[in-house]
Structures are given as structure tokens and as C-alpha cells.
Chains A and B, each alone.
Chain A
Amino acid sequence: MLQQFNLSGKNQLTSGGHPAAGFYGKSFNFDQAEILPMRFPLSNNRLPDFRLSPHIDQTGVEERAARFTKRSIKKESKLNSLKLVLSMIDLTTLEGKDTEGKVRQLCYKAQHLHDAFPGLPAVAAVCVYPTMVNTAKRALQGSGVRVASVATAFPSGQAPREVKIRDTKYAVSQGADEIDMVISRGKFHEGEYAFVFDEIAAIKEACGPARLKVILETGELGTLDKVRRASDLAMHAGADFIKTSTGKIQPAATLPVTLVMLEAIRDYYYDTGRMVGMKPAGGISKSKLALHYLVMVKEVLGDDWLNPEWFRFGASSLANDVLMQLVKEKTGQYQSANYFSVD
């Protein structure tokens, strides 16, 4: 069983300040380099050359990703993993028409997914716009469910850096435990990697104690090579999590894209010894697909990532499908959506 994760208590990860500072500053540990020779030669301004990120063969990635879907998850392992999926969900509402009422309902659901089925975990977090953080924070008081807020001119990221920093600081001041930022995709496509890097580092600093998830918006990056490059860049700049998508652009999360990001996390971990979390978001609405993601995490990164501290699903409708599967496993009967609350 996998209930060893602890969602209460404060996240200690970022208490040491900007992690990239340690890696690229004077304290670079050459013992680490022995494990994996430096893949990124440092240029004069000590920024890695992200054009040297490993190349990706798309067909090979797709074949590998398809292989995970061949795993057959049955019985106990299915039951356990479905509960694990629930505990990894960032229950999300990111609409222009969001109201306090809607957010409060969502927060209740986050803690009471399906009370007819005892022993279910709460979700990992509720993800809202900065203006709704305060409402969510109050609604989730004492539940252990965290409040995540998108920031930095979500979803386009088309705003000056000062605005993004203020956006972030506002969300944190309202009580956000986690910040989901977007990278400047335009600058990234222009090859302005230093700009994107600095921006992430600045937002990281603005986050203070909050964990930073960096949304790459892979649907706008165009190739898996760029997904890998953006992943490396985000992690080196200080991301605690890397995340596929805003959910506003199609395609959002896919197995191949997530695989490339998980491999980047693994390489970064071997490089630096620092764990970075992963959050596929958007497009994952079926429990079977969610299980494929878990299989992928398990076989690429291993045990240490198989918990809500290091893996999240950004999804809104996934929870109900998982609930239906759980009840089906328990009762043996296929379920109807009408028996599970939508919000």
C-alpha cells in the first residue's frame, strides 16, 4: 500500500532558497559530475547551453509510451493505484466565470470525493486563479488539501515580468501553497533561453515558501526536442515541478510528452541529486489512462516519485471516473455518472 505519503505539514523543499543558486554557484559538486559527466557545458555567464539537451526521436518515444499502456493492472494493484490517483489530483477550475460559490463547492468535493465510499483520500490540491486563492484557502482550512494558484498572466504568459512577479506574490500572500506559472513560449521559440531562465528564477524567488510548478505548454512547443529543452531549462532555473499544459491549448498532456519530461527529471536527478516533480495536466479524464501514467512514473523514476509530493494530475473530470472504477471494483457492477456528484 502506498499511504505513506504525508500531505500535512509545511513543505520544506524550498526553504533553502533558490536551488539553482547552489548548483551553478560556487558550490558545484564535482563528485556529482563523476556520476554523470556534465552534459551542459557552462557558458561564460554560467548558464547551461540548452541547445545541447539530449535529442529526442519521436517515433521511439511513442513506441516506448505505447509499451506502458500494455501493462495490465488488475485487482489489488488496481484498487491501490486508483486511490493513489485520487490523492494525486489537482482538482482544477480555471474559468473566466469562476465564482466564490463555485470554488467553495469544488473545495468541498476535494475533501469529500464520494462519502458513500469510506476510506478515500482527499485530492492533493485545488487549483484556482489568484483571485480565488483566499476563498479556497478558507474552504480547505485544516484539511491538508493544498491550494495551488496559477499565476504569471496565465494562460498566455504575455505580460511584463514585473506584472508576473506581482501576480505571483499576490497569490502567495493570499495563501497559495503552490504556484503554477507559465513560461514565455514566445521568448523560448526566439531562442532567448536566458530570458526564460531568468524569469523562472525570478518567479521562484517571488514564490518564497510556495512550491513552483512550471508549465511548459507543450502543445505550443511543437517538437519533443523543445519539450526536453524546456524541461531542462525549467529545472535548472529552479522549478520544483514541471507541468505539461495549461489545459487551454490542445493537445495538452500526452503520454509521449510526459515520458520525455520524466526522462528529463531523471537525468536532472542524476546530475544534481535534486528531485523535481511532474504534473501532466489536461486531457486525462479516464482512470485507465491515469493508470498508464502511474505505470510510466513507476518504470521511469521508480518508487520515490509515486506519491502526491512528486507526481500530480491536473484534471477536473478524472476524479469521477476513478470513483466509478473504484465502486465498480467494490460492487462488481458497471457504474452510472449520475451517482457521482459533478462538482
Chain B
Amino acid sequence: MPKPPTPKKKAAVRLKFDTKWTYNPAPESRDAAQIRPQYDLFIGGTWQRPSSRKYFDTINPATEEKISEVAQAGQADVNRAVAAARQAYEKTWRKMPGPERAKYLFRIARMVQEKARELAIIESLDGGKPIRESRDFDIPTAANHFFYYAGWADKLAYAFPNRKVYPLGVAGQIIPWNFPLLMAAWKIAPALATGNTVVLKPAETTPLTALKLAEIIQEADLPPGVVNLITGAGDTGAALVRHGGIDKIAFTGSTEVGKIIQQAVAGTPKKVTLELGGKAANIVFEDAPIDQAVEGVINGIFFNQGHVCCAGSRLYVQESIARTFLRKLRDRMESLILGDPLDKNTDIGAINSKKQLDTIRQYLAIGEREGADMYQVSCPIPARGFWCPPTLFTQVAQSSRIAQEEIFGPVLAVLTFRTDDEVIEKANNTPYGLSAGVWTDKGSKVFNMTRRIKAGVVWANTFNKFDPSSPFGGYKESGYGREGGLHGLLPYINLDR
């Protein structure tokens, strides 16, 4: 029976989320996905064994079980792939009329949609992300990206007034493991729309959806060699970057590797675009729509286990609402469900790899050493696989390493501020400049803040929103070049009279 309305003791005023009503497991069926036991390299429209004859395992980070094995491409394979791309560029793709290129891209987009469920399952199996995210975000957005750039292929003359648009040639593209298929779409779609051909290397821990995309490309009858896919680790990527037959390097990944790439191409005419790390400030003012801000902060840092380059990993909350806001954050965190990525109710999946988990744990230790207060959700952790519960650090200083360095995990550093000028200075006090968030109900403050923040994407009263029509990319050490939208065409073209 309910208590009489006398105010409860302080300790009693607490919400209980260890509920007796739990959701039963609702796993997506693994059988709906066809995965071959072994994948070769996709070069010149055919599947080719690697010259080394070596293959490496790709595992399910939630169970540590092997899913499949993929070819390890070496220098000879890179040579073959670049040669195939060059031939396709010279012989077919650069000459193909825009409307025809467009139709190929439309066709690929449709096939991605048709196979969306299968792709979503594989994405979650291979990378550890919750099926809700791969199903509702990764795969549909990837398909939309192909649709968006398909339409540009025959309309380039309208994009850049008073200029003619020329393709660059062969693009070498290296993508990360956090959004494997989506990043492949971000790279391939604008490159093909503008008349370039592609050699793509997916990340070594998450190659499977890109390989499925290669199957789709084959099924779509794209001319052989227009898209080539080579799998491997950093060595393979390095061979691609250094290859003399490449005209353009597009890389998404860490700032550290981005710098190595820029060094490597310094003496060449290769064009480069880099989409690198970030340490986004998510700024909550006292007049913010507070519950939506809580949700935005949660999605900002826990989306995809925090494996997001634009993750809102630094929370700046105005001191007058800090305690309330933290309480709301913790309550919200308690309702996050960690577990099997294939379960439709999972909010927090597996950390992508052992290596990344080790990195995250190092930062957790650093945070505690730095004297910050750590709060972790009390959810059960599966015995096998790589897991990190949603984590909050309070009592963090601007000079703390956990507030300065990219952790790339579900770890939020909470800092407080008093004035607008103070927070803008702190938000910009970073070598990065990829994204930021601002939460206030005052329109003039929104525009003041979004203008002064040095970042390529600024979300006001929302966070982690993406759209094929919306340019994305960084300031400063978060890289250069934009992906998405009209501006996303620029990295793949030369403009001339």
C-alpha cells in the first residue's frame, strides 16, 4: 500500500529500476544471415585468393567465437587491386555518362535495402553493436547514402557554379570498425558518383558487411574493377596509401594514423581527406530542456558503446543544475540494457575488440588515478566477450587526461561551468574539432554558441544526428574534408575551367 503523504526520508526518495518485470530475451535470428566460412579478395569483379594464401579470423566480440576468416592482402594484392581500379577508371567508369553511373548507385542502394535485415545481423555479429542500432541506423543510413549520391552523378554541373568537374582517378579508401557498412557507403558512394574508381580496405575486426557489400556490387553488375575490396590489417592499409597508382586517399580513423598517412603522402600529388578523432563537448545550460538534454547526453556517449568519433565525451553542465542533471543521468543510465548485441532490447553491445577494451580500461584506471569519481551502471556483465558498462566520471578537471584524450568507449567525463565565455573557452580548448552539442532553450544563445564553437558539426538541442544530405567532418586535428551533402563531392573532384 502507498505511504501517507508525509515527506519521505531523504534516502527513500529514489527510483528503483531493478524491476521484477524484465524483458525476456528477444534475439534476432542469426540464421537469417548467410556468412561464408571464408572470404577472398574482391578484385576486378572476381573473388581472388590472396597471394600470401593467408587468412585471418574475424570473431564475434560478444562471444569471442570465430565467425569467418578473411584474406590477408599483401603488396601484390594491393597492386592487383589498384591495377584493376585503374583499368576500370580508364576504360569504363570515367567515360560512362552520369545518368548511367547514377543508375548503378541506385541499384546498389536498393539491394542494400533488400538485404537490410541480413546486413544488420552481420553488422551486429561482427562488430558487437546492438541490433537496434544496426537495424535502425547503420544499414538504412548506408542505403540512403547510396541513394543520395546516386542522384548527384548526373547533376555535378549544378554543384559548382562556373566550373567543370573532373574525377581524380583511383581512390584508396580505408575505413574504421565502428560503422563498417555505413563508412563503406560514405566512401564509395561519392567516389563513384563523381566518376572515380575505388580500392576499399575495411577494418580488420569488422570486414564482413563490406564483403557482403562486394557481393551486392557483383550482383548489381557494376563494371569489374570499379569497386575493389581488400582485407587486412594496418600493413595492407599502408601498402594502399603508399601505392603510386592511387590518386586520392580517404581515411576515417584515429588522428594518430591520420597523421602517419599525411606524412606518407607528403611527397606525392595524392589528395587526402581525413576524418579523425574527437573529444566533443556537450554543453548543457541551466535553461536547457533538461530531460531531452539528458537523453541527448546519453545517446551522445553511449550510442554504439561510445565507439563514435563525434561522441559527446565531455559533458559541460552549468553548475546551477549539475546535481539535478547528474541524478537524472544516473537514473537514465540504470535503464540501459547491456548484453547480447543480437537482442532487440539491448542498448549497450560488446566492445569491438579486446584491444579496444584494454584501451578503455586503461583510461578508467587513469580516471581513478586522477581522482575523479567513477560511477558505473550495476548491470550484469556476460562472462565471455568484451564488455564495458556505461561509465560516468565526475569531479573531472579540464586538465584531466580523461577530459582531453579520446577514449572511444562508453565513458563520459563530467565537468561543470559557470558562464558562457568560460564554457566556450573550455569547449574549444582541445586539439580536436569534430563535433559539439549545445543545450539551451534560448535561441540567441544557440546561435552564439554554435557560431563560436570550433567544430565541423554542432548539434543544438539534439546530438548524434546524421543524414546523407548533411556534411560531416572536422576542424583542426579532427581532419579535413567533408562527407555527406554537396560538400561531400569536393574531396573526389578537380575543378577546372
Contacts and interface: CB of A to CB of B under 8 A. Distances in A.
> Are A and B direct contacts in the complex by CB distance below 8 Å?
yes
Interface in B2-21: 2-10, 12-13, 15-21
A41 interface: no
Contact of B345 (A72, A76, A266): A72
Contacts of B10: 31-32, 34-35
Interface string A18-49: 01001100000101101111010000000000
A274 B5 contact: yes
A183 to B, nearest CB: 21
A195 interface: no
A77 B22 contact: yes
Majority secondary structure, A binding face: helix
B323 interface: yes
Interface stretch (A54-62, A105-113, A243-251): A54-62
B26 A55 contact: no
Interface stretch (B175-183, B286-294, B304-312): B286-294
A2 B462 CA distance: 37
Contacts of A191: none
Contacts, number: 138
Nearest to A73: B23
B19 to A, nearest CB: 5
B289 A270 contact: no
B323 A266 contact: no
A221 to B, nearest CB: 17
Given A32-B10, A63-B295, A54 B20 contact: no
Given A6-B1, A60-B292, A275-B2, A72 B344 contact: yes
A142 interface: no
Contact of B1 (A9, A23, A303): A9
Nearest to B10: A31
A15 B289 contact: no
B345 A71 contact: yes
Given A13-B2, A60-B289, A2 B327 contact: no
A61 B292 contact: yes
A1 B21 CA distance: 7
Contacts of B295: 60, 63-64
B461 interface: yes
A72 B18 CA distance: 18
A283 B3 CA distance: 31
A75 B16 CA distance: 24
A59 B7 contact: no
Contact of A310 (B2, B20, B290, B324): B2
B441 interface: yes
A273 B7 contact: yes
A86 interface: no
A219 to B, nearest CB: 21
A166 interface: no
B6 A22 contact: yes
A274 to B, nearest CB: 5
Contacts of B324: 36-37, 39
Nearest to A269: B13
Given A15-B4, A31-B10, 17 more contacts: A2-B20, A16-B4, A22-B6, A32-B13, A35-B327, A55-B287, A59-B462, A60-B291, A60-B462, A71-B344, A72-B345, A74-B24, A80-B21, A270-B327, A299-B17, A300-B335, A303-B19
27 contacts: A1-B20, A13-B4, A15-B4, A16-B4, A31-B10, A32-B13, A35-B13, A36-B327, A37-B320, A55-B288, A60-B289, A60-B461, A71-B345, A72-B26, A72-B344, A77-B21, A77-B22, A77-B23, A263-B291, A273-B7, A273-B8, A274-B5, A300-B335, A302-B19, A303-B18, A303-B21, A306-B21
